[in-house]
Amino acid sequence: MSRRYAAAKRAAVAEPVTFELTYEVPDLTPDEATGQPVPDAVREQVETFTCRGRVPVLLLSEFARQADLDAATPEGAALIADFFRHAFGPGEDDVREYKRFYRLVGERFDDDVLMDVLAGLVEDFGGRPTERPSTSAPGPSPTGTSSTGGGSPAAALEGPVVTLAGDGPPVAVQLSEDELAAVLAARKAPADSSTSSSGTSSTSSTPTSSTTSPRRRSASTAARSTRRSKAT
């Protein structure tokens, strides 16, 4: 069996993801009484960042697989940097936003805060809805034989195989127990009627095709009708 998939079959809805970093800076606001800044006074500074990029599913799966990711290792550091570059995006404004984030984290925050930001973004990008493009290519093109029944592939392989013959060439089909019972009953009925009439009439010494051909057709018809009713 072979399958063919079109590129970008589904794409994440590109909704920007925004987050904030908060830190303290010296408060230089003059005191009303002295006109001078209050010594050691601080105020809260908030920096807002927006991620407009897309993070590939394979990259997200790496973070899911490495739950205990160590940022101190070369592999962990490279994976984190790759994620943030994808998250912020490839545009010029996106690159400037990423560099601003990079400088601020390096100057003001420790690794624990960076990992908290990373965990939140992984959750945000992993939970994005997907949409099918308006001009999508055809879906998978399987080749080979497929089952016409409505059951699962495993169920389609259950049951004995019998060969049915009728007006056309013999056909090998796979039957369930109920279908097999219907076939055997259809084959047995003509045989029973022939046996019951043997006591009152003589048996012809020359067999004819009419004694076997109807039996084959009735068995084939019973099996096919049973399969149609089960599929319905």
Domain ranges of the chain: 11-131, 153-193+211-231
Q: What is the pLDDT of residues 60-103, one digit of tens each?
A: 888 777 767 777 888 888 899 999 999 999 999 999 999 999 99
Q: Give yes or no for residue 38 having a pLDDT over 50.
A: yes
Average pLDDT of span 36-46: 87
**Cα gap 143→4, rounded to integer Å:** 10
Q: Give yes or no for residue 202 having a pLDDT over 80.
A: no
Specify the DSSP element, H or E, that contains 43. strand 42-51
Q: What is the pLDDT of residues 115-127, one digit of tens each?
A: 899 989 988 888 7
Specify the DSSP element, H or E, that contains 154. helix 153-156
Q: Give yes or no for residue 212 having a pLDDT over 60.
A: no
Q: Give yes or no for residue 170 having a pLDDT over 90.
A: no
- Residue 143 structure tokens: 């080749």
**Cα gap 158→226, rounded to integer Å:** 16
